[in-house]
Structure 1
Amino acid sequence: MKIIDQRYLDGANRYCTEPCLLSILDLGHPAPYSASDMQQLRARLKTVLPGLRQGRSLIGVVGDDVDAPGRGLQLARLIQSVAIELHRLTGDEVMMGFVGGVPKMPGRYRLILPFRCGTVANAALKLATELVAALLAGQPYRLDEGLAELRGIAAASAPTQPSIRIAA
C-alpha cells in the first residue's frame, strides 16, 4: 500500500470547489483483505481514533460492497476517512473527500482531500496510510508521535497574524 502520485489542485477543479490534494493510492492487486480483516481494522481504528467519522464522497456515495471480493474500495475509503480525521485533529475542519477507482488500473484509487494547507493534507494522508498499514499487519503504531509531528507541520504552515501597534 503506497501513494504513487500526488498533485496539488488550486481553486475549483474537477473534483472539488476548493483547493485539494489529488493522490493515487496503490493497494496492490488483488487487495488481500477479507471482510473479517476490514472489521478488525475498523475496531482497531475506533480504539486509536475515537473521533473517526464515516467518510462521505463529494460525488455520490458508492456502496461499500461494489468490490466486495478484494475490499479495495472499502480500504481506500477508510484511509481517506482516517486522513480527514487526522487533518481535523490539527484544527482544520475538512469534512469530506472523494475516493474512486482509477479506470483500467485494478488496485489503484484516486483520493481527493480538500485543504487549507497542502503540506498538512499531504502529511495527514501519509500518516493515515502508515497507521492503516500497521494496524492491518497487527503491529503497534505510535500515533501520538505522528500526531505531534502533524500538528507541528500545521503550526509551522499556519499563516502568521500581523501584530498591530496602537499608537498611544
Structure 2
Amino acid sequence: MKIIDQRYLDGANRYCTEPCLLSILDLGHPTPFSASDMQNLRTRLKQALPGLRQGRSLIGVVGDDVDAPGRGLQLARLIQSVAIELHRLTGDEVMMGFVGGVPKMPGRYRLILPFRCGTVANAALALAIRLVDGLLASETFPLADGLAELRGIAAAGAPPIRIAA
C-alpha cells in the first residue's frame, strides 16, 4: 500500500467546503486481503485505537458496487477511519472524510481528509498506512512513538496562543 499522488486543496472544493488533503491510495491489488484478514485487522485496530469507530466519519462513499469482504474499498475505508482517528488524537476534531474508487483503476482509491493543518493530515495518513500495514503483517507496531511524533508535528504547526493584555 502506498500513496501515489497527493494534493492540498485550499478552501471550498469539489470534495469539501473546507481545505482538505486529496490522496490517491494504491493498495497494490484490487482484492488484497481475505475476510478473515480484515476481521483480524479490525480486532487489532480496536485494541490499538479504542476510540476508533469504523466509518463514523465517512460521507459519500463511492466505488465498488458491493462492499464484499476482501474488496479494496473496505480496506481503503478502514485506512481513512484510522487516519481520522489519529488526526483526532492530536486535538483536531476531524469529523468527516470521503473515500471513492478511482474510475478504471482497480485497487486505487481517492481519500479526502479535511484539515486545519495540512502537515498533520499528511502525517496522520502516513501513520495510518504504516499502522495498517504492520498489523496486516502481524508485526508489533510502535503506535505510542508514532502518536508522539504526530502530536509534535501538530504542536509545531499550531497557531500561537495570544493572551489579551
Above 0.5 in TM-score?
Answer: yes
Q: Distance in 2 between matches of 1:65 and 1:41?
A: 23
Tell me how far 1:95 sits from its aligned partner: 1.1
Q: How many residues matched?
A: 164
Q: Distance in 2 between matches of 1:161 and 1:30?
A: 46
Contact 1:46–1:52 (Cα < 8 Å) also in 2: yes
Q: Distance in 1 between matches of 2:38 and 2:65?
A: 12
Q: What do the CA deviations read for 1:54-79 (whole angstroms, capped 9, x no partner)?
A: 224332x4698725264200000000
**Normalising by the residue count of structure 2, what TM-score does the alignment of the two structures yield?**
0.93
Q: What do the CA deviations read for 1:87-112 (whole angstroms, capped 9, x no partner)?
A: 00000010110001000111000000
> What amino acid maps onto 1:14 in structure 2?
R
Residues 122, 31 of structure 1: alpha-carbon distance in 2 compared, 3 angstrom cutoff: same
| Map of 1:57 onto structure 2 | 58
| Map of 1:79 onto structure 2 | 79
| Map of 2:28 onto structure 1 | 28
* Structural RMSD (CA): 1.7
Q: Distance in 2 between matches of 1:150 and 1:69?
A: 31
Tell me how far 1:164 sits from its aligned partner: 3.6
Q: Alignment identity in percent? A: 82
Q: What do the CA deviations read for 1:114-168 (whole angstroms, capped 9, x no partner)?
A: 0010000000000000000000011110000000000000000000023444xxx
Contact 1:66–1:73 (Cα < 8 Å) also in 2: no
Contact 2:30–2:108 (Cα < 8 Å) also in 1: no
| Map of 1:147 onto structure 2 | 147
Contact 2:98–2:111 (Cα < 8 Å) also in 1: yes
Secondary structure of 1:141 counterpart: coil
| Map of 2:117 onto structure 1 | 117
Q: What do the CA deviations read for 1:7-56 (whole angstroms, capped 9, x no partner)?
A: 00011100001100000000012332011000000000000000001224
| Map of 1:90 onto structure 2 | 90
Q: Distance in 2 between matches of 1:42 and 1:104?
A: 28
- Structure number with greater Rg is 1
**Normalising by the residue count of structure 1, what TM-score does the alignment of the two structures yield?**
0.92
| Map of 1:107 onto structure 2 | 107
| Map of 1:4 onto structure 2 | 4
